A and B are shown apart, each in its own frame.
Chain A
Amino acid sequence: MNREQHTGFIPFIKRELKPKGKIVTPFNIIAAITIFAAIIILVIRFTNGLGSVVHASQERPWGFWINFNVITGVAFAGGAFVVTFMVYIMGMEKYRPIVRATILYALLAYMFYAGALLLDLGRPWKVINPIIGNSFGLSSVLFLVAWHFILYMGSLFIEFSPTITEWATLKRPRKFVASLTLAVVIFGIALSTLHQSGLGALFLMAKPKIHPLWYSEFIPILFFISSIFAGLSLVIILETIGRRVFKKEMSATHKNSHSNIMIGLARICSITMFVYLFMVILVFLHNKGLNYINSPWGYWYLVEVIGFVLIPCLIFLFGFKRLNLNLVRIAAGISIIGIILNRLNISTFTYQWYENTIHFPTWMEIVVSAAVIFVQILVFRWIVRRMPVYNEPPGWAIDVKKEQIIYN
């Protein structure tokens, strides 16, 4: 039995802060440049106003940061609530190896995308207002989304904290936070349902401005269902990348069950996308969509639905049936593009579609968005190299394994 012998808190932190792995790699260099550029852009944004870096106008108030990082990015963080549902509620132990990494990814995603939201606010210093009760705009969907983000980040943090306590060898705290896991998972799933659909509900009042093929009263439900397979598709991609990049950190159990997990996820994605497709068709019928199909926007709609929902659904199906991991990865990639397309269609491209102007973001917006993603990846890597995310928990945590597996 090995005993963690850390000789004190400060030396421990010092040790952990040292970079592990090479400092000068192509990825690190690109990330550093992007982040540096983003900081400069942000200084300009705050001194000269939003309009100096962002391509927003009075007609299109929401730019790339909100529409991409928040409305789209948060969909991909939906993997956490699906995977925790499968493992903690339905007891599908097969997926246990990926739980921690998925929760970590989602936690970082929410933290950084909420941060990106702050960048897009005109007066971010007032963001405290709806939080401290100075003025609760209860009728606002954005109020709900903001509060749910905060509560859900807290839930994800508690779900992740057993890993942190294992890293810092805090045994009694670990017992305590592990006992909270079930309550926080259940709360997290309820919150996720609401804010994933809430992101769609933000656009409900923009009825006259979004193209009728994309707008419906069912937008919240469609956003929720698509977040399920968006999150899982991203988990598939993350696992694929992680298996190569974090080879050292991954435990043998994890490596061995990789294929099993991927095939299982492919099956779930395929079924979910099948259901989503039929929901989309239902909404299409409800909206009398046939009236709009014969137009450039109509064709674009067909491209999105057939090319990026139906086709990846079928590829997932083939990949799962033929046990072909490459097909699964391709399908995941296509469905991710499909989600980005769908979310951007509703929030940007078809917003004020009758103006017939295509709105592209400025290079500065893209750089900042990319920088946010880079920072997220760097933090993820830092944590994975030090904490038992991909590898097995330390020995002293194993005899409380009972609490980990079955909970009550």
Chain B
Amino acid sequence: MENFTRFDIYDTKGIEYLFVIGYLLLLIVFWNIAKSPQAIKLYKKAIGTVSAKVLRIPQGIFFSRFHTWTHLGESGDAKVGLDDFLQQITGKIKFTRLKNPGELIEKGDLLTVIDQGGKQLEVYSPITGTIVDTNSLLTNDQEMIVGDPYESGWVYKIKPTDWVKETQTYLLADEAADWATKELDRFKDFLAGEAMKRYSSKPSMVLLQDGGEIRENVLSELPDDVWANFQEEFLKIS
């Protein structure tokens, strides 16, 4: 009866648009529910999982086995700093006991002490030399996240005295990536051990070795004796 009475081929458009609005809102909800299975309540961002894939291992940077790095710049000065692993498992830290330009530092000397609400870790220098500059971003006695540990997050610029000899045993690129993977596994074992000593009632804090990923800033929630143990196991230059 189309040609003798009113007929509108678009009469459902109103309901369709309302439906679409509802859909878009529900999509946001549904997407958040339908995240991949490793998601647990504490999963925040994709970069929040510290896995070997996520640790950023840039090119041209030497890694000591004690979670510091060094990079020789064109000017002949070397930058040194903490690696991404250390940054990501601690979170917001203060850099204390920083040295001033002009001071001498030896390989194995204290580079800096990173502090989080009283919990501390001593970090040791990977090279010997004279300090040319200290990063002003870190000197303000504030707790901060170093988002960019290999670029703007350097700790000192040092004029090295024996660069080649000292960096000979250090790791570069692919080797560093392999080492980082092994360190992560070692760290997971370490955490599992610490957890079993104290936190058997909160299994969500520590996910296990087979496929589980470590939560971001996990050390920040653990007490200072765990920090002391970590210092012994991972950062002490033997």
Tell whether, in the assembled complex, residue B144 and residue A187 are in contact, meaning their CB atoms are under 8 Å apart.
no
**A1 CB–B CB distance under 8 Å:** yes
Interface string of B79-118 (1 = CB under 8 A from A): 0000000000000000000000000000000000000000
Nearest-neighbour CB distance to chain A for B98, whole angstroms, equals 14
Whole-angstrom CA separation of A136 from B146 in the bound complex? 53
Q: Which B residues, 141 to 182, have Cβ-Cβ distances below 8 Å to chain A?
A: 142, 144-148, 152
Residues on the B chain within 8 Å of A183, using CB: 28
Whole-angstrom CA separation of A187 from B27 in the bound complex? 12
**B10 CB–A CB distance under 8 Å:** yes
Tell whether, in the assembled complex, residue A401 and residue B147 are in contact, meaning their CB atoms are under 8 Å apart.
yes
Interface string of B115-156 (1 = CB under 8 A from A): 000000000000000000000110010101111100010000
Tell whether, in the assembled complex, residue A398 and residue B10 are in contact, meaning their CB atoms are under 8 Å apart.
no
Closest residue on chain B to residue A404 by CB atoms:
B147
Residues on the B chain within 8 Å of A187, using CB: 24
> Residue B13 contacts which of A1, A138, A403, A408 (CB distance < 8 angstroms)?
A138
**B2 CB–A CB distance under 8 Å:** no
Whole-angstrom CA separation of A1 from B152 in the bound complex? 12
**A290 CB–B CB distance under 8 Å:** no
Residues on the A chain within 8 Å of B17, using CB: 138
**B8 CB–A CB distance under 8 Å:** yes
Given contacts A138-B10, A139-B10, contact A406 B47 (CB under 8 A): yes
Residues on the B chain within 8 Å of A408, using CB: 45-46
Whole-angstrom CA separation of A406 from B9 in the bound complex? 44
> Residue B148 contacts which of A401, A403, A407 (CB distance < 8 angstroms)?
A401
Given contacts A1-B137, A138-B13, A138-B14, contact A402 B8 (CB under 8 A): no
Closest residue on chain A to residue B139 by CB atoms:
A1
**A399 CB–B CB distance under 8 Å:** yes
Whole-angstrom CA separation of A295 from B147 in the bound complex? 65
Tell whether, in the assembled complex, residue B14 and residue A398 are in contact, meaning their CB atoms are under 8 Å apart.
no
Whole-angstrom CA separation of A398 from B146 in the bound complex? 9
Count of B interface residues, CB-CB < 8 Å:
21
Tell whether, in the assembled complex, residue A406 and residue B46 are in contact, meaning their CB atoms are under 8 Å apart.
yes
Residues on the A chain within 8 Å of B9, using CB: 139
Nearest-neighbour CB distance to chain A for B220, whole angstroms, equals 16
Whole-angstrom CA separation of A253 from B145 in the bound complex? 23
Given contacts A1-B140, A402-B45, A408-B45, contact A136 B10 (CB under 8 A): no
Whole-angstrom CA separation of A1 from B9 in the bound complex? 63
Closest residue on chain A to residue B146 by CB atoms:
A399
Tell whether, in the assembled complex, residue B14 and residue A136 are in contact, meaning their CB atoms are under 8 Å apart.
yes
Whole-angstrom CA separation of A402 from B8 in the bound complex? 51
Interface string of B18-42 (1 = CB under 8 A from A): 0000001000100000000000000
Nearest-neighbour CB distance to chain B for A298, whole angstroms, equals 35
> Residue B142 contacts which of A1, A402, A406, A407 (CB distance < 8 angstroms)?
A1
Interface string of B29-67 (1 = CB under 8 A from A): 000000000000000011100000000000000000000
Nearest-neighbour CB distance to chain B for A206, whole angstroms, equals 18
Whole-angstrom CA separation of A1 from B136 in the bound complex? 7
Q: Which residues of A contact B (CB under 8 A)?
A: 1, 136, 138-139, 183, 187, 398-399, 401-403, 406-408
Known: A138-B10, A398-B148, A399-B147; 4 extra A-B contacts, CB below 8 A, are A136-B14, A138-B14, A139-B10, A401-B148
20 contacts between A and B (CB under 8 A): A1-B136, A1-B137, A136-B14, A138-B10, A139-B8, A139-B9, A139-B13, A183-B28, A398-B147, A398-B148, A399-B146, A399-B147, A401-B147, A401-B148, A402-B47, A402-B147, A406-B45, A406-B46, A406-B47, A407-B45
